[in-house]
Structure 1
Amino acid sequence: MSYQTPKSAITARLEIKKSAFITYAYPIHSREEAMFHVEQLRSKYPDANHHCSAYIIGDPDNTTSAGFDDDGEPNGTAGRPILNVLQHKSIGNVLIVVVRYFGGIKLGAGGLTRAYAGAAQSAVDAMTLTPYVPMTTRQIQTTFASEAQCRYVVESLGGHIDDVEYTQAVVLHVTLADADIEALKEALGMSGTVLEDDAPDDTAR
């Protein structure tokens, strides 16, 4: 999978014929997360005329989940143009919400489509994009004497320790890039044993 995802949430603002378009973009990993942000913005801007949105979970060229909402705007003039911008730019794991305050001048279907696409583009222009890296979780079983060495190996590969269990042995629960699993096994050598997946993890760094 080769695509970009936003590094952090951003906000942008456009004014078109007295209508204000306030755009928010968020990195997300689930539809539930997307809906949470939409509802938060509905609460933040209860007097806005529309809260239009589009999201993509996964690869924008072969998406596992995508959706959009015109939120009362004429069919196809808001959510779809936002989604089109994200797909054209190959951005995944992302939500864009455009909050509109109507300024009294009707834009027409073509004008609305251009306005929402422009609002989405303004958010994309403000994004810091980072390559999507599929992450996975593993358990490493080791001895008390080798724990520090195992921690060093995980961190040197850009991974992180999620949890540690101490019994007769030490079990480290770690998250790191899927592509680095073989390198982890090689680098650990006799210091630790990599066990099966701890749990699926579809997050990315």
Structure 2
Amino acid sequence: MSYLIPAEPISIEQQVKRSLFRCSIAHCPDRGAAEIFIRRIALQHKDANHNCWAMIAGPPDEPQGYGMSDDGEPRGCAGKPMFTVLQHSGIGEIAVVVSRWFGGIKLGTGGMARAYSSSVQLGLTALTTILKIHYSCLTLTLPYEYLQTVEYLLRQIEGKIIEQDYSEQIRLELEVPTERLNNFVQEIEEKSQGQIHYFRP
């Protein structure tokens, strides 16, 4: 699958009833990277009253990358609202920490949840993202007359030739966007009338 990921880390803040909320976001491809980022922000903002966090450390639809923490705030008032915003964004490989400096006015559980979720929404609005495309490997063996056809079809789907070998026939090692692999194979079969042979490692 293809999905958006953060292009670069950002930090943005807002004030809610004198409390300062600073949202820090970074690209974290796995849980290890997310945990390092969370520890770094918590150390950087060790004077904050709370450093709450949420992560989707992997593809958006893989629960093993999910995580959240209230870091001492009332249960369910910080980490969960933050995670919900992340989940609805469709962005993957992302971790967010919202650091709070208490301003003396209590927000209540509802107000606190809104403050944490709106901090993440503010961060996502400012975040630059890029599209991550997953590729599958494919090996082709083809007569020389079909090389231009294969190259044309590859360009249409932003595929890549990784290795090539020219002997009696051409052998190509390809990387093809996974979402378009089946259509690509079907097209080369139709255009070559079965003369292009393929193998999926």
Q: TM-score if structure 2 supplies the norm length? A: 0.69
Post-superposition CA distance 1:51-73 (Å, at most 9, x none): 3211234456x845422012233
State how far apart, in whole Å, the 2-side matches of 1:150 and 1:113 are: 53
What residue ranges of structure 2 are gaps of 5+ in the alignment? none
Q: Matches of 2:138 and 2:122 in 1, distance apart?
A: 42
State how far apart, in whole Å, the 2-side matches of 1:143 and 1:5 are. Answer: 35
Match of 1:153, SS state, is helix
| Post-superposition offset of 1:50 | 3.0
Alignment of 1:8-87 (within 5 A): 8-9=7-8, 10-56=10-56, 57-59=58-60, 63=63, 65-87=65-87
How far 1:80 sits from its partner (Å)? 0.9
Specify the alignment match of 1:121 in structure 2.
Answer: 121
- State the AA in 2 paired with 1:196: R
Higher helix share: 2
Counterpart residue identity of residue 12, structure 2: A
The structure whose Rg is larger is 2
Correspondence 1:83-162 to 2 at 5 A: 83-87=83-87, 89-110=88-109, 111-127=111-127, 135-142=134-141, 150-161=150-161
Q: 1:48 to 1:22 in 2, by over 3 A?
A: same
Q: In the aligned structure 2, how far is the partner of 1:63 from the partner of 1:124?
A: 21
The number of equivalent residue pairs is 192
Cα distance between partner residues in 1 of 2:93 and 2:165: 38
| Percent identity for Structure 1 against Structure 2 | 23
CA contact (8 A) 2:160 2:175 kept: yes
Specify the code of the residue in structure 2 equivalent to 1:32: G
Unaligned runs of at least 5 residues, structure 1:
198-205
Amino acid at match of 1:37: F
